[in-house]
Amino acid sequence: MLKNLALLLLLFLNLYVLTLHIGVVAPLSLTEKDLIGIEGQLIKTGESGHTHIVLEGSSYKRGLEFSRLTKDLLLLQENKLLEKFKSFIPNFFVQKLFFHGAMIWFYGLEEHIDQDSLKEMQGVSIHAPEEYNYLADPLTRQAAYHILHEVGQLFVDEDFSDAGCFVAAIKNEDQSWVIGRNFDFDIENIFDDKKILKWSFPKVGHDYLSVIWAGMVGVVTGVNSQGIYASINAAGSDSFSRLGTPTTIIVKNILLKASSIKEAQEIILEQKPFITEVFVIADRKTGEVITVENSPSKQIFIQKSNSFVLSNHLESPEFKEDKVNIKRINELTTMHRYKRGVELLEQVDHEEGIKSVLSILRDKSLYKEAKPRIGNRGTIDALIASHSILFDTKENTFYVSNADGTSGDYIGYDLTESFDKRRPVIATVLKQEEDLSSAEYRNISKLLEGLPRVQESIDNKECTLAEDQIKTFKNNKIDHYEISLVMGNYYKTCKEDLNLAKKYWKLALGQKPAFLKKAEYLKGLLNE
């Protein structure tokens, strides 16, 4: 009996060690050339402006300098990420099982990432926080955080995830474009508050700018010195692959290597992803713009000849019968935002390209409604943008939001001069009347972020704690279905007043829930 237990324990330990081994990303061998490069620079523009990181040299050297300059942020981000993770899986033993399972699942991922990107991640890993080495070594964690973005994108536009993405692009009479985009993906505002404009001047390849967060080698929004713009919007399809190239790495390679739309297409075709996303790619030299519906099984290239908007579903006939895409269209918010965007495009003054696109990115009304619905996920600006940008291809000016979400000024950078001088050069500051000040934007965002904790207090019958928050909701008078839903739950559970509870639930239903599931849930409550 003891012998059998000993053998079983030995087998378990062998499997555990094997898991640790196969899930590890092995460091690459470095040469003297990999160490070439000057020290990176951290530059602040203006009193309360952006944080810029300027990096030169080899891939490894740029990663090393990026992490050196942002090591405090790397720790802050990992703290926030782990806090979020622990809120879903509080048990330490289950956490370890999850991590080891993930290491097995994603075994072999590094074979789908080019060596230059891996070397840059290896450079970043040098200053990664040691506090989390118990989870995995720093290089493996850097690769894992790129996967985290991919996995997070799978749940974009879901009811439990404050994430989306929206693009509005206006074509001018002279064939130039103004492209605007809200990147809706954040964890407790850290990617917004601490966003970085990363200027990369590689030893080999094109110079490029990306709007990103500390430690990230991949790109979600960026433009290169050749005038190639690229960004990604999450989508979904039936197509599935266990492994593939992270889409953020594909975008990075487009900026690094492409000087034309054709070359960008070739890069996309060469690298198979493991999730479905939509790329927007523009060439300022030719005025050509395409979207790419990119899934593990097929890539659909769509030429854009007129102004357009894009949210989080696939539009091509090839995905017409796709069940995941159909669910997104019918049950989530992507079609609400898309229709509102089309509606706004029909109203804008095309001669006011920049201002017109910004007004769309800041829009807080639902389709066929003039009344603002602040924070409603069915609106284009649902107060969840971690960065918002505008790219004027005619002037070669790249604007980035400077305050919370879409509030405040947008600082415009002269890309021609910036790439030439190897430092950010401000061309102009876009000031436009906004519907919410930065302070109001942040206060309402935080209030809405706190709703799950209020609901948790109600579920635990911690009514005194919940009552303090309910008073805050009443004082702010925000017209939001989630607030009315929680207040109804409070009156049912804490005050045992079903009539008043139903009054709030009915109000919530009339406040246009963004998700079909939430509307059906409210109807069920009203039928109790």
**Structure confidence at residue 23 (pLDDT):** 57
Q: What is the pLDDT along the chain (528 residues), one digit of tens a residue?
A: 444 444 444 434 333 433 444 456 788 899 988 988 899 999 987 666 899 999 999 999 999 999 999 999 999 988 887 777 777 677 777 776 777 777 777 778 788 899 999 999 999 999 999 888 877 788 988 888 887 777 777 777 676 666 789 999 999 988 999 999 999 987 777 888 889 999 999 999 999 999 999 999 999 999 999 999 999 999 999 998 888 899 999 999 999 999 999 999 999 999 989 899 999 999 999 999 999 999 999 999 999 999 999 999 999 999 999 999 999 999 999 999 999 999 999 988 767 789 999 999 999 999 999 889 999 999 999 999 999 999 999 999 999 999 889 999 999 999 999 999 999 999 999 987 777 888 888 888 888 888 888 999 999 999 988 888 888 887 777 889 999 999 999 999 999 999 999 999 999 999 999 999 999 999 999 987
Neighbours of 242 (CB within 10 A): 11
What does the alpha-carbon distance between residue 294 and residue 308 come to, in Å, rounded to a whole number? 18
What's the CA gap between 293 and 315, in Å, rounded?
Answer: 8
| CA 28 and chain centroid, separation | 29
Distance CA 310, CA 338 (A): 6
What does DSSP assign to residue 253?
A: H
Q: What is the pLDDT of residue 326?
A: 96
Instruction: Report, at the CATH architecture level, how domain 166-434 is classified.
Output: 4-Layer Sandwich (3.60)
State the pTM of this model: 0.91
Model pLDDT, residue 21: 40
Provide the CB-side half-sphere exposure for 323 (13 A, CA).
3
Where do the domains of the chain lie?
2-37+55-135, 166-434, 450-526
